[in-house]
Amino acid sequence: MSGNVTARAFKMDGPLLLTVRRFADHRGYLMESFSERDFRTVGVEENFVQDNHSFSAETGTLRGMHFQLPPRAQAKLVRVLRGAILDIVLDIRRGSPSFGQHLSLPLAAGSDEQLYIPVGFAHGFVTLEPETEVAYKVTDYYAPEQDRGIAWDDPDLALPWPDLLGGPILSDKDRCHPRLRDLPAAF
């Protein structure tokens, strides 16, 4: 533990699973969900400028796979406030040895875990419980002209979405993203 946070790396270089220390007593607990000082000691050296909060009413709501193009690309720090998700991160850095590969992991409320996603990755998640709330910090402001996505069901990627009765609940925008192979190099 470095200060109040630990980091677990993955085979894929970049993303980190961060665990933040809780201080508990008979009243409940307190945790520093973000401390620039502590996060820097485990390799997260970002300037987060915006906090986002999403609410999904139904199980099976899928949001993704999203990213922003440079120069407005965003790193993210994701945590679940209520409910649970399956989070998926996709490496879209053309020169990376893990280009086109993904990382998937469950995240749930009540956990001390947060997922750090650096620039150069597409991100998406599906809710595993109703009334799920997800909070995430980003390193640049939303820029509609740089907003992009990759098809959540791109057959070349075989992303491990769970089987959902009736399929996922998607926005119109998320139904229309191109396949990864049809995107020009961005990172």
Check 102, 123, 136, 177 and give the catalytic one. Answer: 136
In this prediction, residue 1 carries a pLDDT of 43
In this prediction, residue 3 carries a pLDDT of 77
Identify the architecture of domain 5-150 in CATH.
Sandwich (2.60)
CB 88 within 8 A of CB 65: yes
Residues near 35 by beta carbon (within 8 Å), at least 6 away in sequence: 3, 4, 5
Task: Output the pTM of the full model.
Answer: 0.95
136 among known catalytic residues: yes
Write down the mean pLDDT value for the chain: 96
Residues near 58 by beta carbon (within 8 Å), at least 6 away in sequence: 127, 130, 169
123 among known catalytic residues: no
- What residues pair up with 18 in beta bridges, in sequence order? 7, 114
Question: pLDDT per residue over 6-51, tens digit each?
Answer: 999 999 999 999 999 999 999 999 999 999 999 999 999 999 999 9
Q: Could you state, in order of their start, the residue ranges of all structural domains in the chain?
A: 5-150
How many other C-beta atoms can be found within 10 angstroms of the C-beta atom of residue 96?
16
Check 66, 102, 123, 177 and give the catalytic one. Answer: 66
Burial class (CB in 10 A: 0-12, 13-18, 19+), 20: buried
Residue with tokens 């990382």: 103
